[in-house]
Structure 1
Amino acid sequence: MIHIPKTEFASRIERIRESMKAEGLDVCFVYGDEYRRENLRYVSNYWPIFERGALLLPLTGEPILLAAPEGEEVCREMSAWQDIRLIPDFACVTVPDVIAYPQANYSSFRDVFKELKIRQAVRRIGIVGMDAMSHYVLETLRNSLPDCELLDANSMLFRARLTKSENEVACLKEAARIADAGYRALLKVAAVGRTELQLAAAAHEAAYAEGAENIVFCLVSSGARVGTIIGRATNKVIEDGDMVMAALAVQYEGYIATANFPFVVGTMAPAQRELINQLIEANERALACLKTGAPLAAPVRAVKGYFRELSVDRFDLYPPMHGCGVAEAESPYPDEQSEGTFAAMMTVNTDISLFGHPGGSNRIEEGFVITEDGYEPMSALVRDLCRQWKETGSISIE
C-alpha cells in the first residue's frame, strides 16, 4: 500500500524543530479539524471527524496529540504518535451544547502544558492554524497560558510543505489515478437527459471503488449554470449543446489531486469550441514554463499574456496555477509579481479558467511534479484528453 511511513513523520518533526529553534519558539501547537485538516494530517496523520485536534510539539521528546473522546479510537488508529490526550474543548464543532462523555479520561490545556514545563522552558508558543480555530478554543488556550506568548506560526508549515518527498509524490500520483477513474466515469455518463447529480454520482462511485478516502469536492454545472464558477451538482437536466464544468478532487492518504477538462454534451457551438481551444492552449503555455529554477511568475505571465493577446483577459478571474498536496490548493500560489523559483519536487496544479466568455465558462486543471528539466504529469487522463482535442478537435472515452 502506498502511504507515508512513520519514519517520514519523524523526519518532518525534526525539520520543524529546526525552524522552531531559528524562530525562538519553545513549543509548536498544530491545530486541525474536519474542515482544515491539512497541517494536522501533515504532522501526525490524524484527521478529526466532527471534532478538533492538535499536535503539541516541544523541542525535545515525543509529540503529544490532543484529541476529543468520540474520535479517540480513530485517532489511535491513524496517528503516527502514541501519546494521545483528550481535551474537552475539542469536542463536537457543530453544536453549542456541552456534551457529556462519562467514560472520557480528560486532560486540559493547562495540565498538558504544566507537564511540558517540567521538561523544558515554555515561553513562546507558535500556533499553526490560528486562523482556522474558533475564538472559543483560542481564548481557552490563551487563558490556560497567561505567562506565555502565542505567535502565528503558519509560515513554518507552509515552508515545510513546499517540496515533496518521494512518498508524498507517490500518494499524489495515486490520488490522481483515482481522480482519473472518477472523471472518466463522469464523462461516460454525460449525455442529454442526465442530471448534474447523476454525473457527480458516477464520479463518486468510481473514485471510492478505486480507493479514494474522501471526495474533497465534485463540482458539476451545465448550461447557464457554468457561470457559477464553483457550482455544486443539482437536479438540472443536461440539454443538447450544454457546456459542462466538472471538477473532481480526490483525497488519498491525505493527499489531494484534481481533474477538470472542459466539454460539451451534444452539439458544440463555434464559440464553445473556441473557449476550449483557448483554455488548452493557455494550459500548454503554462507547462512550457515549468522546470526547476524557472520563475514562479513565468506560467502566470504566459497565461495572462496569452489571454490579453486574445482580448479575453476580462474573463480571467484568478491566477492560473497553485500548489497541491495535503490541501487541494496550497503554496505556491503565484501571480505575475511573485518572486522565487520552482524547485524540484514541488507539486502544482494548472487551474486555468475563463468565466463569462462568449462560449461559456470553464476551466482546465491537472497536476504536475516539477523536475530538473521540466515536469511530470500526475493525471494521465487530462493529458490524454488534451492530446485528443489537439489532434482531432474532440474527445472520446473508451
Structure 2
Amino acid sequence: MTVRPFVIDVPQPVLDDLHDRLARTRFLDDSPRRPASGMTSAYLRDLVASWLTFDWRAREAWLNEHPQVLADVDGTTLHVVHQRSASPDAPALLVMHGWPHTFALQLDFADLLPDFHVVVVSLPGFGFSPPLDEPTTEQRLAQLVHTLMTDVLGYSRYLTYGEDVTANVSDLVAATYPEAVTGIVVTHAHFLPQDEREATTDPTERAFYDRMAAGWYDQAAYAHAQGTRPDTLAAALNDSPAGLLAWITEKLVEWSDTPAGDPAAVERRISRERILTEATLYWATQSIATSFRTYFDGGDAVVPPVEVPAAVFIQRHEHDNPESVARRFYRDLRVFERLAEGGHFTIAEVPDAMAERVREFAAVGSGHPRS
C-alpha cells in the first residue's frame, strides 16, 4: 500500500468549457404554485453570475495549502487531506463527508485543530477518489477507511466522525474496530431500525420518528432518483453546470441551519465561495454520477451498538432526536448535547464550536472505558 503526494490542478480547457457553458445557460422562471424548496430561479441566476467570475485558481491554491495524498488502499485509491500536528503524540481524527458535499467543505474545521493529526478522506467516487469496482456499501467504506487510518497512515488509535451517508460508516467503524477507535464524535445520531421505529411506544421517540417521516416525503425525490435512476439524472447534471449547481445547492440550503424561504441565507453558514468550490470540484472531476453510488449500492447496514466512548451533539435538523435512543446505541455515552446552532453540515456550519467540543472530548472524554 503506497501513498503519493497530490496537488489539485484543474486543466485550463476544463475551466474554459465551464465558463462557456455557464455563459450560455438557459434559465427557467419559477413554476406557478411551485413547492417551497432550497432553490429559486432568482438565486440560481445570482449564483451562476458569481460562478462566471469565480477565481478558481485562487481557491485551488488555498486547497493546495492543505497537504494531500493519493493512498492505495486494498485495491482502490483514496484522495486524502492529511494534516499532521507538530506534536507526534497528538490524537488522530478521521473526518468523513457525505452527499452532496466534498472534503473541501470540512477543511475550515480541520484547520482549527492543529493539535490533532486530521485525516479528511474523499469517499470513493467523490472528487479525486475514483469509484470502486464493486458496490459502494457502508460496510466496504468502513473497512477501507479503517485500513487507511491503520495500515496505510500508521495510526494504531484514532477518533472517528462522519456526516450524512458516513454517519452509519462512522458508527460501523467504531462498532467493528473498538480496539483502534478511541472515541466517536456524532452529529447525526443513530436512528432506530425501521421495525423498531414503528414498534416503539415511548412518546418522545414516537414523536421524533413521526416528525421525520412526515417531513421526508416532501424532500425525498432526490434520494429516490439517485437510488433508482442514477445515470439518467447524472447525464443531465454532468452536461449542465447550472443544473449541477442547482441540484447541489438546494440541499446545502434545505439542510443547513438557516431560515426557510430565503435560499441566500445559507451563505450565513456556508459562504458563496465554499458553495462554488463544491460545484467546481464536482464539475471538474465529473463525479456527480459516481457520487450517487452510495444511494444505489449503499443500503442500510445493520450496525451493532457502539461500545467505545461517544460524544453526541444533536444538530438542529434533528433537534428532538431522543436521548434515550442515543444511550441505548452508544453504550459508553460521555457527552450528550443539543446544539444551539448548526444543521446537517455541522462541522462546516459551526466549525469553531465543533472544534472546541472535539478537543474537549479528546482530552477528557475518550480513550478510557468507564469503570
Is the TM value for this pair above 0.5? no
More strand as a share of residues: 1
Q: Which has the higher contact order (CA 8 A, sep 6+)?
A: 2
Q: TM-score, normalised by structure 2?
A: 0.28
More helix as a share of residues: 2
